[in-house]
Amino acid sequence: MQNTRLNTLIDSLGRQIAQELRNPWRRIALLLITLLFGVYLGLSLAAVAGQLAYWDITVAALLLFVSEFVSWLFYGNAFKARKSLWGEALNALKIGVMYGLFVIAFILGS
């Protein structure tokens, strides 16, 4: 790939972001934001899928496959996703979505 100004700008921006996220407090804040966004995403998915009753099974199957794939990536030994920021953020998003779905289930069950 050629070393253009745009490439140099994007590479330096990526290095600066990686440098900023090495701070443990910023990393925890990013993971917390990802977890809370996952809760929001789970609540909104349940609300949207609940409006159109024929999408319930399709959305449930899709969420199951995505959740299992993320778990396979994060907890499997083949990839180093457990030590990387993107792996932790993806797992936090999955946990947030599952928590949001449990909250909706408890609300509807009461």
Per-residue pLDDT of the chain (110 residues; tens, 9 = 90+): 678 888 889 889 988 888 888 888 988 999 999 999 999 999 998 888 878 778 788 888 999 999 999 999 888 877 777 778 888 899 999 999 999 999 998 988 86
First to last CA, the chain: 58
Nearest by Cα to 85 from 45, 42, 33, 41: 33
Q: What is the pTM of this model?
A: 0.81
Rg (CA), the chain: 18
Does residue 93 sit within a domain? yes
Does residue 50 sit within a domain? yes
Does residue 8 sit within a domain? no
Does residue 12 sit within a domain? no
Q: How many domains does the chain have?
A: 1
Domain span holding position 93? 24-109
The rounded distance, in Å, linking the Cα atoms of 12 and 8 is 6
Does residue 15 sit within a domain? no
